[in-house]
Amino acid sequence: MSATEPTTPTRLRRGETFEGEIETLAYGGRGIARPGGYVVFVNGGLPGDVVRAEVTKSKRGYAEANATELVTPAPGRLPEIDLHQDEPCPGAAWQALDYEKQLAFKEAQVADALTRIGKLGDVNIDPVVAADEQWRYRNKVEYSFGEQDGELVLGFHPRGRWDEVLDIEDCHLSSEATNHARNEVLAWARSEGLNAYDPHDHRGTLRNLVVREGRRTGQVQTRLVTSRAEFPRPPVDLHTVIDGPSGSTSGPTGVLGEEFLRERIFDLDIELSHDAFFQTNTEMAEKLYGLAAEYAGLTGTEKLFDLYCGVGTIGLSMAREAGQVWGLEIVPEAIENAKRNAKANGITNARFVAANARTGMRPLIEQAGRPDVVTIDPPRAGLSAKIVRRLIECEARRIVYISCNPTTLAPNAAQLVEAGYRLTRVRPVDMFPQTPHIECVAQFDLVGEVKYVESPSERKRREREERRDAAKEADQ
């Protein structure tokens, strides 16, 4: 082999340790190190850190690892202030990274996803919208019960260790009111001698505590999730009972206090049922939805479809600038919230339908007619290709896509562009400081006519029919 011929990187195996420098950050917040030229995604390292790490997964082209020791901290690394039992808060993985650098990495992740995954060039990405508050911004926190040395604890799972729970007294991401509610429930549970549910042997009682806060109303709502058992009335608003080994927090829920959480956003009074989605940063939700309204560009006459509408916040916030608003959401309780929210705020031009986005859009078009503008706020998984095709069938002149995951926005954007839409602009919004997560708002404008793209099943059916027709002609 000649001296100039590149060498093959040495693959690291599971369980091996190495020392290396974190070069940059991948999407999702993991650091990238290249020991011997071999790519390793490292949990727990920031750019410039030299870490010692243990490999947890090994593949031919890359490995995954957990940092076990910070050998040399990066220049400018900040002290970690949100600690639980001397471990950094699992929900604040970027707290040692300067906030301006956090914003720069998040903006770069959006650009990388759209160009690398979506194969979209010349995307106009506006500067990221910085958060109003870098700490104490969460309006919802879910805690897990566990046990340490025979004592009941209530907190968070350490990263990658779902069988352990870090005891939390004061999480800097949540408010003092939320932390107080958590401490009150834990004190009650300890005084009653209750134990935590063990997911391994499926024994025990206490599973989770969900605390939600109305940041503008001051209301704090608590929901205790337990196995079926007899114990004194808990000091919470809602009690959900889970039968069997399910890890879900959904189940039959009894009302012991306030059934609904009430919040105020823009000039709207909003009611939320316990399983209805609402952005976990109220202050930045206003910035996010305000940006969506700006991108929608309503003039007062348009028909607006609000897909994945939740409790109706986006559509209702734009209703006074629209001719009609139609909201679509799969959770029936959220739709009931949306209807009551419209009535409570004196909004008469909004209608809401409980349906799945994939199967519900065609009936919605038959009922309401085609929309001028569509807003869509899907979950992290984004939209399936079939739902994007249903969206294209709307033939809306403008689509405003609110995304909490640029890696799923990217393929959806590519499909819309293929169908005749232009990705006019994108702007990231930092809803979650101290974390790698980033939201963004994307504006798509229809250029000319919609170009319908065959689905795989449609293509197979057409090809099958063409082969059958060709065979008939050959027989004649």
Q: What does the pLDDT read at residue 464?
A: 82
pLDDT band of 1, cuts 50, 70, 90 = very low
Compute the residue count for the chain.
476
Structure tokens at 283: 């202050």
| Beta-ladder partners of 325 | 304, 350
263 with 217: CB under 8 angstroms? yes
- Rg of the chain over Cα atoms, rounded to whole angstroms, equals 25
**How confident is the model over 73-128, as pLDDT tens digits?**
999 999 998 888 788 898 999 999 999 999 999 999 999 999 999 999 889 899 99
Give the relative orientation of helices 406-418 and 385-393 as an angle to the nearest 10 degrees: 50
> How do residues 341-386 score in pLDDT, each as one tens digit?
999 999 999 999 999 999 999 999 999 999 999 999 999 999 999 9
* Residue 349, number of CB atoms within 10 A of its CB: 15
Domain parsing of the chain, residue ranges: 17-77, 140-261
pLDDT at 290: 98
Residue 455 has pLDDT above 80, yes or no: no
In the numeric block, the tokens 């399910």 are attached to: 246
Tell me the pLDDT band of 466, cut-offs 50, 70 and 90. Answer: confident
The CATH class of 17-77 is mainly beta
- Looking at 171, 394, 404, 440, which residue is catalytic? 404
- Which residues have C-beta within 8 Å of that of residue 287, sequence separation ≥ 6? 129, 132, 429
3-state secondary structure of 453: coil
Q: CA 59, CA 57: separation in Å to the nearest integer?
A: 7
Going from the C-alpha of 344 to that of each of 318, 337, 339, 352, the distances in angstroms are 16, 10, 9, 15
161: left (phi over 0), alpha (psi -120 to 50) or beta: beta
Q: Which two tokens stand for residue 242?
A: 């889970």
Give catalytic status of residue 404 as yes or no: yes
- Can you tell me which residue has the tokens 């003092």? 176
Query: In this predicted model, what pLDDT tens digit does every residue of 322-337 receive, in sequence order?
Result: 999 999 999 999 999 9
156-173 pLDDT, tens digit each = 998 777 778 999 889 999
Q: How confident is the model at residue 431 (pLDDT cuts 50, 70, 90)?
A: very high
Common-topology check for domains 17-77 and 140-261 = yes
Report the half-sphere exposure of 337 (CA within 13 A, side-chain side). Answer: 28
Tokens read off for 43: 């949990």
The CA-CA-CA angle for residues 245, 250, 254, to 5°, reads: 110
Q: What is the pLDDT of residue 461?
A: 77
What SS3 class is residue 323?
Answer: coil
Give the number of other Cβ atoms within 10 Å of residue 473's Cβ: 7
Contact, 47 vs 22, CB < 8 A? Answer: yes
Cα–Cα distances (Å) from 97 to 73, 77, 400, 422, 438, in that order, read 11, 6, 31, 35, 15
From the options 1.10.600.10, 3.40.50.720, 2.40.50.1070, 1.10.10.10, give the CATH code of 140-261.
2.40.50.1070
pTM value > 0.85? yes
